[in-house]
Structure 1
C-alpha cells in the first residue's frame, strides 16, 4: 500500500516507517518538525536503504494536505501528528484542541476530497482515566483526567462518526500504553526537545550524565513498592502493531479501538533497577510528593489486539532498557550527536 504518515519523523513514527517499509509499503511523511528533526528521516533511509517521500508542513494546512494527497495518492494514512505532553496540555488547552482535534478534522476532510478511506490513529490509554477495574479493556469507561487525554478521546469520537458515515471507511484506533525503547541499530530513538516528560528518557539522560538525578514523584501509592505502576511497551512492538492495524483496515470497515500494551506493569523503581542493569551503574534518585493527575497503576488487556489483529508484544523489560541505553549512550545529544 501507499501510506501517508503524519508526524512520521517523531519517535513512534520513525520506528513505524521502518516496519512499514520492511513489509513493502511505500511511505510518505508529513511533519512540521515541532518535536522532531529531518535527520530522523536521513537515518531511516540509511537503515532501510529505501525511499521516504517527505513534505514539511502542518497537518492543519488544507492546501498542503491536498497537494500531498494529489501527488502521493495514499491508500491509507497513519496519523501520529499532534501534541502529546500531559502537563503542557493543562497550560495550553487551546493549542492542544487546535492541533489534536482540528488537525484530525482537517486530515479527514482532505482524505474525503481524495477518496482515501483508511486511517490508523495514534491514540492513548489516557482516554480511560482513573481505573474502574483493571486491567483496562477497550470497553472500560472513558473519562480522561488531562486535556491531552480529552483531545485524544475527542479525535477518537470524530473518527468513529466519520467511519459510521462512510460505509467503505476504516478507522483503526490504537490506544498506546507507555512506549519505551529504541531500534536495535541504536540509530533512531526517543529524543525529547526539552526536559523529558516521560520516565524512560529521563532515566536515560541521568545515566548518560545529562541530568544529575531522577525525581520519583510519590512513594505512597497502593502498589507493591509505593511507586506508580505502568504498562511499558517496546516501541518496535508498537510500530509492528501499526502494520497489523493497516492489514486489518485493508479487510474491514468501521471504527475499532485496540489496546496496545504488554498486559504487565512495572513500577518506577522496577524501571530504575532494570536501567541500572542495562548501563552497569547506579541511577541517582530523589524522592518527591505525588504529582497532580498521576494515577497509581495502569495495565492493558491487549487480548483484542491478539485476537483480531494477530499482534502481541514480544520484547521484555530488559530489551526495553538495553535498547534505550544503547541509543542514548551512542547518541548522548540525541539527533544532534555527530555521526
Structure 2
C-alpha cells in the first residue's frame, strides 16, 4: 500500500484529492500550516471515506519539521498543493509569495531527495501561460506570467525541470489547472475562502446565500460571446481524479511531464451566473464593473495530452459544477466555521 503525502492537504483541492486517493486504495497523510485552510476539512474527508487522514500541522519552509515527517512515515510520493494562491495579494506581497511558493518547494525537494522519495505531482496553474496569444492552450504554448503568483508557479516549474535534468531518477508531473469549481457531491467539503473570495464561483455562491449584496463582473467589453471574460471551469472532483491518474503514471514513468487539466470548453462570467441561477433556482444580482488589469479575454485548455498520457478526461457537466457548489454553500453558509 503506497503512502502519499499531501502538502496543503487540508485545502480545497487537497481535501478532495484525499478522498479520491483513499477510495482508490492509497493511504494519505496531510501536511498543512492551516494559514488558508481548516482541519475540519479532513475530519469531513474521514466522514466520507470512513478512513482518517493524519494531519501534521507544519509549514513546508520548516526543514526540520519536514525531515521529521519523512523519517516517521514510509512516504512513497508527494502531491504538492501547499502555497499561496491569491493573484491580487501576490502583487502587494511578492516576497511572501516567492518565500512560500518557491523557497518552500526548494526546501521540500531537498528533503525529499535526502529521503530518497523522488515521485512528485506539482500543483501548477494555467497562469504560467500568461496572456496566451492563442486558444485552446496546449502544453507547448509559450510560458510567461502577468503577476507574482503566476511567476512563482513558473519559477517552480523551471526548478523542477532542472532537478529532473540533473537527476533522471526523479518522476515529476506538473499539473496545470485551469479554473477549479464545485464541491464534493455530499456537500460536506468545498471551497472555503478567507474573507473576500478571489474566485468567481464562491463569490456567486456567497451572493446567492445572502452573504454579499451582488457580484461584481469585471469587464464587459471583451471580444467574447457576451463581452465578459471566458474561462475553462473544471469540477474539483475531476481535478482530484487527475492527481490520481498522475500518481499512477509516475509509478511507470520517470522524467518530467507538464499536463493541462481542463475541460477544453470555455464559459463566460455571465454564462456561469446564468447556469447557476437556472440550475439552482436562486437569484444572483450582479453589477458590471471596469476590467481588472492583468485579466485576459479568453483562456481555455486543450486537454488532449491528459487523455493520451494519463487516460484522464473531465466528466462533470457545468450543471454538476454549479449544483455541487450551491449544495456546499447552502449546507455551510460560513464554510467550515459553520460548525
TM-score range for the pair, normalised by the shorter chain length: over 0.9
Q: When the two structures are aligned, how many residues end up with a matched partner?
A: 338
Say whether the 8 Å CA contact 1:278–1:325 is kept in structure 2: no
Distance of 1:208 and 1:180 partners within structure 2: 17
Partner of 1:148: 149
Distance of 1:286 and 1:174 partners within structure 2: 34
Distance of 1:30 and 1:163 partners within structure 2: 24
3-state secondary structure, aligned to 1:75? strand
Distance of 2:127 and 2:208 partners within structure 1: 28
Distance of 1:247 and 1:138 partners within structure 2: 20
Distance of 1:284 and 1:132 partners within structure 2: 33
Partner of 1:225: 226
Partner of 2:24: 23
Distance of 2:221 and 2:15 partners within structure 1: 37
Cα distance, 1:51 vs. partner? 2.6
**TM-score when scaled to structure 2?**
0.99
Distance of 1:160 and 1:225 partners within structure 2: 39
Deviations 1:61-103 (A, max 9, x none): 0110001101112100000000000010000000000000001
3-state secondary structure, aligned to 1:52? coil
User: What is the correspondence of 1:77-96 to structure 2 with a 5 Å cutoff?
Assistant: 77-96=78-97
Deviations 1:248-285 (A, max 9, x none): 11111111000000000000000000110232122101
3-state secondary structure, aligned to 1:251? coil
Partner of 1:159: 160
Cα distance, 1:53 vs. partner? 1.8
3-state secondary structure, aligned to 1:159? helix
Distance of 2:265 and 2:129 partners within structure 1: 17
Cα distance, 1:163 vs. partner? 1.4
Partner of 1:191: 192
Deviations 1:98-138 (A, max 9, x none): 00000100000010110001000000000001122110000
3-state secondary structure, aligned to 1:295? coil
User: What is the correspondence of 1:93-112 to structure 2 with a 5 Å cutoff?
Assistant: 93-112=94-113
Task: Determine if the alignment matches structure 1 residue 291 to structure 2 residue 292.
Answer: yes
Distance of 2:26 and 2:163 partners within structure 1: 25
3-state secondary structure, aligned to 1:33? coil
Distance of 2:251 and 2:162 partners within structure 1: 19
User: What is the correspondence of 1:59-74 to structure 2 with a 5 Å cutoff?
Assistant: 59-74=60-75
Distance of 1:136 and 1:5 partners within structure 2: 28
Distance of 1:62 and 1:281 partners within structure 2: 48
Partner of 1:56: 57
Distance of 1:308 and 1:256 partners within structure 2: 9
Say whether the 8 Å CA contact 1:207–1:279 is kept in structure 2: no
Cα distance, 1:196 vs. partner? 0.1
Distance of 1:194 and 1:252 partners within structure 2: 41
Partner of 2:305: 304
Cα distance, 1:35 vs. partner? 0.5
Say whether the 8 Å CA contact 1:203–1:214 is kept in structure 2: yes
Moved over 4 A (4+): none
Partner of 2:240: 239
Task: Determine if the alignment matches structure 1 residue 259 to structure 2 residue 260.
Answer: yes
Deviations 1:201-244 (A, max 9, x none): 00000000000000011100000100000000000000000000
Say whether the 8 Å CA contact 2:43–2:52 is kept in structure 1: no
Partner of 2:172: 171
Cα distance, 1:37 vs. partner? 1.0
Distance of 2:3 and 2:35 partners within structure 1: 25
What RMSD in Å do the two structures reach over aligned CA positions? Answer: 0.7
Distance of 1:223 and 1:159 partners within structure 2: 36
3-state secondary structure, aligned to 2:244? helix
